[in-house]
Amino acid sequence: MGQKRTAPIGEWVKTAIILFVLFIFIRTFFFSSYEVEGDSMRPTLESGNKLVVNKIGYRLGEIKRFDVIIFHRKKEDYVKRVIGLPGDKITYADDHLFINGNRYREEYLDEYERPILGQKLTGDFTLEELTSAETVPEGELFVMGDNRLVSLDSRHFGFVPIDKVVGRVDVKYWPLDEFNLDM
């Protein structure tokens, strides 16, 4: 007669430890969860939204214009949209974005009525007026929040070093009715 063999408690503990270490490894090097604080990315992201951030994808591929990223600045993490890449010349005029002389439509801002209470959503500026640089320097990004009237972004604190980027926002998973895989 065959006997059922049960795994000793030590095997269960060893399996649990391996799974825990694997979880920590994946969370540390590949993906992380963040919660949005503040209104600087409205309407795309709202305070309390929970996000999955891909920490490795941007290292394997390039950061693209209009990606939503998380980056370190001082002692905090910020979530903003990439507007300018290294070498870009950026101008805003009459609520229109121009990069290297070409006009770009920012579809993610369509929810805002233009003009809002008689003012522009994004004030007119050139990159040189804000930063004294004609183009975005190598190894840096120019970022802006979608809620341009309240966002603290590159217009205020300058360029973001690419090495300070934590990762690209890939998924908004909370609240569930706003689940979005296409950030």
The question of whether 154 is a catalytic residue gets the answer no
Query: Which pLDDT does position 109 carry in this prediction?
Result: 83
Instruction: State yes or no: pLDDT of 20 exceeds 80.
Output: no
Instruction: State yes or no: pLDDT of 1 exceeds 70.
Output: no
Catalytic residue, candidates 80, 151, 154, 172: 80
Instruction: State yes or no: pLDDT of 24 exceeds 90.
Output: no
Catalytic residue, candidates 4, 14, 33, 40: 40
Query: Which pLDDT does position 113 carry in this prediction?
Result: 56
How many residues can be counted in the chain? 183
Output the average pLDDT for the chain: 82
The question of whether 80 is a catalytic residue gets the answer yes
Query: In the CATH scheme, what is the code of domain 62-169?
Result: 2.10.109.10
Strand intervals (E) in the chain: 31-35, 50-54, 68-73, 76-84, 90-93, 96-99, 102-104, 125-126, 140-144, 160-161, 165-174
Under DSSP, is residue 20 helix (H, G, I), strand (E, B) or coil?
helix
Report the chain's C-alpha Rg in angstroms.
Answer: 21
Q: What share of the chain is helix, strand, coil (3-state, %, to 5)?
A: 25, 30, 45
